[in-house]
Structure 1
Amino acid sequence: MSTNMPPADTPAAGTGPDAANPGRYVTEGQGFVRDTKYIETRITADGRDGYPVEAGRYRLVAARACPWANRTLIVRRLLGLEDAISLGLCGPTHDADSWTFDLDPGGLDPVLGIPRIKDAYERRFPDYPKGITVPAIVDVPSGAVVTNDFPQITIDFSLEWTAFHRDGAPELYPDALRAEIDEVNQGVYTEVNNGVYRCGFAGDQASYEAAYDRLFTKLDELSERLSRQRYLVGKTITEADVRLFTTLTRFDPVYHGHFKCNRSTLSALPVLWAYARDLFQTPGFGDTVDFTQIKQHYYIVHRDINPTGIVPKGPDLSHWLTPHHREQLGGRPFGDGTPPPPPKPAEAVPAENWVPTE
């Protein structure tokens, strides 16, 4: 997710986001158009872009609040890449300049030694002119960002990092299903993943209503598809499920109210609600979700939508752990593979930020 703002002066180390420098996300009188030009450098097994796959060399910088970054957390967990690719986590809020490492002691990433991910961008591209986004992968020896191309990052985790996959890792992007996965992903991205933002960041009534109609038309279509099969493509979890899941988990806590996607809550859509709970209860999915940070991010950062910065107490999240009965449709989440082990203690979502278990 981008700060969507031009560069500004960087605060001193450890100060965190600058409250006096909030981002702006809505352009009055216009619909929202996402800048999708990312740093396309890739980390590959053959190192053709100058960055070969190498355990311990790279650091994934993410934020639990961000749906685009949440994808990388899930895929890294499912494939067992935790020991090969270290993880740096930004806090849930940021200013117009950059995401910050305000969760770490002294406000500095303990490996990169920087307070703002912008510093890694500018190490490679001085005066980097575009939005500072997470997820990003940083080359630790040089301290420079390699890529922030989030759709490609997770595909490359599946295809280029196979030498470091855990035993039993699932095939999230199997060759025989790639064309169908790509087709599904394209529709989910334009209408749902980005569709909620086109609703929330719309600058006029007509743009909002068009985005709203497109969003719920697609959700109805996905409900019909998933009424017949457990997963979006094939009989196991794939990249397609990862991409839809991160939007669904944020729907009721954020998008329904904050982004005015309010025809219905996710929990009022029986098929999608059961599908989301099925994935949430699958190891590697729900255990990456931090509902507290998600709400803090959207309601505090988007001051032009929510000027007070008040974070709502609701909704009730306890129902995420209720039975979903999706197993009746067949399929196995990991196919012939196995679930990932529990998260490393240092990477576990704090219990108080998750869902009530009692």
Structure 2
Amino acid sequence: MEMEKDPHDQTGSYVHAGEAFDRDMNYIPDRITSDGSSPWPVEAGRYRLAVSRACPWANRTIISRRLLGLEDAISMAIAGPTHDKRSWTFDLDPGGKDPVLGIERLQQAYFARYPDYPRGITVPAMVDVPTGGVVTNDFNRITLDFATQWTDFHREGAPDLYPEGQRGEIDELNHWVLHHVNNGVYKTGFAGSQETYEKAYTDLWESLDALEDRLSRSRYLMGPAITEADVRLFPTLVRFDPVYHSHFKANRQPLASMPNLWNYTKDLFQTPGFGDTVDFQHIKEHYYVVQTDLNPTQIVPLGPDTSIFLEPHDRDRFDTDTWGPGGTAPLPPKADEVVDPAHTPLHPTGR
């Protein structure tokens, strides 16, 4: 999703000597709405969600789309896990082109709308299929709009991920998690000095300790049911031991040694719509191959053993209403959106 100084952008340089990591948070602010408040109306089949399974910011949109049952209303373009200095590429598709947009690079969708687009070519992005132009890459808004603007196309039994009575608290928690955890791992990993690293490392672990304590009192972040807050935290946690612990030097301890956070992560991983969106091989290839500032050899580690994500958890000791009143689990992923069985422990051949 990132921009110029961002680890998922196309510049190829992430560490700046002597500087703290500074994420560019300026995104295309357009929204797709149902009330006529924008030039982009909610319309089934009109938009395509461009993602990479490697990117945590894109991962949250894949989860939200699955949980809400928006697969038939919003199609999905999946870029490969690595990219060059120009942009994410659709090298997983036959002929190296997205079959709907007909483009090789996500950059082409950005340039179709903004020929001189000056910022990073980021995922997730919503693309207008008729024009081939990007509508928005505002990751912070996309999932909220999935929950609130696309309700006419939600599946029967879709959970209310952004319940009106909890929105203020969810927004506050999401803002804190974004800056201290979701982005905290990047501040740690891309620190340009010992001083900025130690400051970011300390803040990250103080924040993880606070979440460890919070999750000692309820099954999910906001209580007995899954909400937008869980959708946003999970992609960071599921990447922590495979990538952030070593690659980003966030190595006080593995997440697997923290009882509440680890069992919470396993619980969500085993919940339909969460773990079945995770491609561990794509995740590792992206971080270890693209981020040559940190890994100049581009060697991708074989470990860790991700089968531990399928071990029993203890989260059912709490009051639970996972999908909320009247909610049900999502259907299995569409056949063409199933994660490669060799890349996930959800399949017996997965590592």
Same fold (TM over 0.5): yes
Q: Distance in 2 between matches of 1:220 and 1:150?
A: 26
1:22-171 matched pairs, under 5 angstroms: 23-171=12-160
1:103 aligns to what SS in structure 2?
Answer: coil
Cα distance between partner residues in 1 of 2:128 and 2:223 = 35
Separation (CA, whole Å) in 2 of partners of 1:212 and 1:22:
25
Tell me if the contact between 2:266 and 2:309 (Cα under 8 Å) persists in the aligned partners: yes
Tell me how far 1:137 sits from its aligned partner: 0.4
Q: Is the 8 A contact 1:3 1:97 kept in 2?
A: no
| Structure 1 length-normalised TM | 0.94
How do 1:320-335 and structure 2 match up within 5 A?
320-335=309-324
Identity %: 62
Report the CA distance between 1:48 and its aligned residue: 2.2
> CA, structure 1 residues 40+22, in 2 after alignment: closer, same or farther (shift >3 Å)?
closer
Q: In 2, are the aligned partners of 1:60 and 1:135 still within 8 Å (CA)?
A: yes
User: Residues 5, 268 of structure 1: CA spacing in aligned structure 2 closer, same or farther, 3 A cutoff?
Assistant: closer
Q: Equivalent residue for 1:2?
A: 2
Match of 1:184 among 146, 150, 173: 173
* CA shift digits 1:316-336 (9 cap, x unpaired): 111101111201111221022
Provide the secondary structure at the position in 2 that maps to 1:256: helix
Per-residue CA deviations over 1:327-354 (Å, capped at 9, x if unaligned) read: 1111221022000010011001011000
Query: Distance between the aligned counterparts of 1:216 and 1:175, measured in 2?
Result: 31
Match for residue 332 of structure 2 among 334, 337, 342:
342
Deviation at 1:186, TM superposition (A): 1.1
Q: Distance in 1 between matches of 2:174 and 2:66?
A: 20
Deviation digits for residues 201-224 of structure 1 (CA, Å, limit 9, x no counterpart): 111111111000000000000000
Asked if the contact 1:281/1:321 (under 8 Å) is kept, the reply is yes
Aligned residues: 344
Runs of 4+ residues deviating >6 angstroms = none
Distance in 1, matches of 2:149 and 2:223, equals: 22
Compared with structure 1, are the counterparts of its residues 220 and 5 closer, same or farther at alpha carbon in structure 2 (3 Å cutoff)? closer
The answer for unaligned runs of 5 or more in structure 1 is: 7-20
1:351 equivalent in alignment to 2:341: yes
**C-alpha distance in 2 between matches for 1:136 and 1:73:** 11
How far residue 356 of structure 1 moved from its aligned partner, in angstroms, is: 6.2
* SS, match of residue 247 in structure 2: coil
Unaligned runs of 5+ in 2: none
Structure 1 residue 47: Cα displacement:
3.3
2:339 is matched by which residue type in structure 1? V
Using the alignment, how far apart are the partners of 2:3 and 2:288 within structure 1?
A: 14
Partner residue of 1:13?
none
How far does residue 2 in structure 1 lie from its aligned partner after superposition?
Answer: 2.5
- 1:276-313 per-residue CA deviation (whole Å, 9 max, x = no partner) reads 01111110000000000000000000011100000000
Judge conservation of contact 2:3–2:25 (CA < 8 Å) in 1: no
Per-residue deviation, residues 46-77 of structure 1 (Å, max 9, x unmatched): 23221100000000000000000000000000
Alignment TM-score, normalising by the size of structure 2 = 0.96
What is the Cα-based RMSD across aligned positions, in Å?
1.3
Q: Tell me the equivalent position of 1:248.
A: 237
Aligned residue number for residue 16 of structure 1: none
Please tell me the residue identity of whatever aligns with 2:4: N
Please state how far the C-alpha of 1:97 moved relative to its aligned partner.
Answer: 1.7
